[in-house]
Amino acid sequence: MDKQTGFMKALKCRECGREYPLAATHVCEFDFGPLEVAYDYDRIKQSLTKKAIESRGKNMWRYRELLPIAGEPTVGCEVGFTPLIKADRLAKRLGIRELWIKNDTVNYPTLSFKDRVVSVALSRAKELGFTTVACASTGNLANSVAANAAAAGLKAYVFIPSDLEQGKILNSLVYGANVVGIKGHYDEVNRLCAEIAGKYGWAFVNVNMRPYYAEGSKSMGFEIIEQLGWKIPQHTVVPMASGSLLTKIQKSYQEFVKLGLVQQSRYSVHGAQATGCSPISVAQKAGLDFFKPVKPNTIAKSLAIGTPADGFYALKVMKETGGAADDVTDDEIRDGIKMLAECEGIFAETAGGVTVAVAKKLVATGKIPAMDSAVLCITGNGLKTLESVAGHVGQAREIRPSLREFESLLEAENKSTVTA
Amino acid sequence: MPINVRIPTPLRKLTNEEELVQIDAKTISDAIAQLQSRFPGIQERLVDESGAVRRFVNVYVNEEDIRFLQNQETALKDGDEISIIPAIAGG
């Protein structure tokens, strides 16, 4: 392995193919296209075999050759390899033959898939000599940057919309990060961060470090294939905010095929959004290859990106793989959260509710055939978005510590069950 | 008062590393034409052959995306601030 660049070759513009050095830079100077890491797949093929993978630790770094750092990981060494759960009870509710949940609600250390991208971005930031890291976030990313930066001894600035859920704000503050709440929605936070990133010499994980950062999402797809017994799922349903995760899931499947780790098979990647912020879903349903930016208004705050950076590419992936998109209302999102909790014992945040509810729609409309098998990517933990379900999941009944009171409560309940 | 244009890092080679440029323009189209006359080559980075703003370029007037205003026909007045920002960020 090359000590300077690992298995990476260069940064390459997705639009025009111009190459750039492996620095902290994210857009092409000529057409503003996104830069992406180009790898030396011939060398990776010699090193990344099934045997090698299976002999390594149960974390996302078991696919290290396909993650863009030069040396060994130094941040988030235990991230990933979250459970893939066979969800028979939820399958029945949704009316599909076979269903799996990729459960990143228990990702380490901050309970969302963002730990994957952050461990890559911060490991690479350290390699490039940065001591201050930052991000624009709808919450989960901020939590992960704050926690992982603390553990790595890096200084962190996280920028979030000021109206985020309490859980997500406290979850960044507790690690000692500098939390800046912006009076505006995420797209405004993002615009400000693009300006700040151009001015200060910080590693902004999703701005100037974005080519490295985004690749971390592939580990979710690699794990799905390995945990399914080295198979690509027929259908994968992915929540879309910027659309980045969806594009990286497809890339992970393509890379494993290219390396001969899995057989090529037909698969579709589907996208899920909230109706209150559905630029990609609306475009997909209208058959367009471009989207119209929107101003978000949804309880799924983690998906509330009205100007999705990877919107064009997400539309392209769905088109290429025969995938579909759909979107769901706030009430449907809460129902989705409840269905997943009641059937599988998994408490997801609002984005998880979006994914479950959209999957239900896609099965109901035949876009995912009932006889097929699907994986739902559940990306974040419900304990962080308690406000969204408070008042919608019933409430605890209070009694005095008396057996008599408990028994009359049970009796009243049985009566009401019978009448119902 | 003139109009201030914030130039993003990828374009600063064209503006001799200037990050804030002052112009006098009536609309966004007009502003782009003026930038082009001062910094030849900048126009083709911002707009495609049909004259539309490139899909990976976002343009803001006083912090509002011009796609929520009148796109390139968005009127400008003295003291306005235009930001040109790469679309690929975040998420």
Residues A259 and A279 occupy one common structural domain: yes
| Residue B67 burial (10 A CB sphere; 0-12, 13-18, 19+) | middle
Report chain B residues whose CB lies below 8 A from the CB of A210: 88-89
A305 vs B13, B63, B90: nearest CB: B90
Residues A130 and A248 occupy one common structural domain: no
Of the candidates A152, A150, A203, the residue with the CA atom closest to the CA atom of residue A178: A150
Query: What's the CATH number where A63 sits?
Result: 3.40.50.1100
Tally of structural domains, chain A: 2
Q: For residue A295, what is the nearest residue in chain B, using CA coordinates?
A: B68
Pairing of strands A178-182, A155-161: parallel
Q: Do B56 and A31 touch (CB under 8 A)?
A: yes
Q: What tens digit of pLDDT does each residue of A276-292 get?
A: 999 999 999 999 999 99
Q: What is the pLDDT of residue A419?
A: 58
- At A199, the pLDDT band (50, 70, 90 cuts) reads confident
Query: What's the CATH number where B81 sits?
Result: 3.10.20.30
Q: What is the pLDDT of residue B88?
A: 86
Is pLDDT of A190 > 70? yes
Tally of structural domains, chain B: 1
* Residue B82: partners with Cβ closer than 8 Å, 6 or more residues away: B3, B4, B5, B6, B28, B31, B59, B60, B61, B76
The reply to whether A344 falls in a domain is: yes
Report chain A residues whose CB lies below 8 A from the CB of B17: none
Q: What tens digit of pLDDT does each residue of A358-409 get?
A: 999 999 999 999 999 999 999 999 999 999 999 999 999 999 999 999 999 9
Question: Residue A274 in 3-state DSSP?
Answer: strand
Of the candidates A317, A83, A344, A118, the residue with the CA atom closest to the CA atom of residue A223: A83
- For A361, the domain range is 84-110+217-389
Q: Which two tokens stand for residue A37?
A: 């890491």
The reply to whether B11 falls in a domain is: yes
Q: Do B67 and A309 touch (CB under 8 A)?
A: no
Q: What tens digit of pLDDT does each residue of B8-51 get?
A: 988 999 999 999 999 999 999 999 999 999 999 999 999 998 98
Residues A206 and A295 occupy one common structural domain: no
A193 vs B8, B55, B89: nearest CB: B89
Q: What is the DSSP string of A370-414?
A: TTSEEEEEE-BBGGG-HHHHTTTS--PPP--S-HHHHHHHHHHHH
Residues A68 and A99 occupy one common structural domain: no
Q: Do A243 and B91 touch (CB under 8 A)?
A: yes
Residues A282 and A295 occupy one common structural domain: yes
Of the candidates A14, A138, A109, A103, the residue with the CA atom closest to the CA atom of residue A341: A103
**Residue A207 C-alpha, separation from nearest chain B C-alpha, in angstroms:** 5
B60 vs A191, A198, A199: nearest CB: A191
Residues A230 and A334 occupy one common structural domain: yes
Say yes or no: B1 contacts chain A, CB-CB below 8 A: no
A309 vs B19, B60, B89: nearest CB: B89
Chain B interface disruption, residue of A13, A20, A27, most B CBs within 10 A: A27
Interface of A with B (CB under 8 A): 15, 26-34, 136, 186-188, 190-191, 193-195, 197-199, 206-207, 210, 214, 241-244, 290, 292-293, 295, 305, 307-310, 312
Q: What is the mean pLDDT of residues A179-197?
A: 94
The reply to whether A273 falls in a domain is: yes
The reply to whether B91 falls in a domain is: no
- For B82, the domain range is 3-86
B86 vs A27, A214, A293: nearest CB: A27
Report chain A residues whose CB lies below 8 A from the CB of B55: 290, 312
Say yes or no: B40 contacts chain A, CB-CB below 8 A: no
Report chain A residues whose CB lies below 8 A from the CB of B68: 293, 295
**pTM passes above 0.80:** yes
Phi, psi (rounded to 5 degrees) for B53: -60, 135
Question: Residue A170 in 3-state DSSP?
Answer: helix
Distance (Å, whole) CA B51 – CA B43: 9
Distance (Å, whole) CA A262 – CA A269: 17
Residues A179 and A293 occupy one common structural domain: no
B91 vs A15, A27, A244: nearest CB: A244
Residues A198 and A50 occupy one common structural domain: yes
Residues in chain A: 420
> Omega of the bond prior to A68 within 30 degrees of 0, cis?
no
Compute CA A85 distance to the chain's CA centroid, rounded to the nearest angstrom.
17
Q: Which two tokens stand for residue A67?
A: 């993650």
Residues A166 and A259 occupy one common structural domain: no
Q: What is the mean pLDDT of chain A?
A: 96
Amino acid A326 reads D
Whether the CB-CB separation of B45 and B39 falls below 8 Å is answered with no
Which residue reads 């201030």 in tokens? Answer: B4
Which residue reads 């400000």 in tokens? Answer: A192
Say yes or no: B62 contacts chain A, CB-CB below 8 A: no
Strand order in the sheet with A178-182: A178-182, A155-161, A132-136, A203-204
DSSP letter assigned to residue A257: H
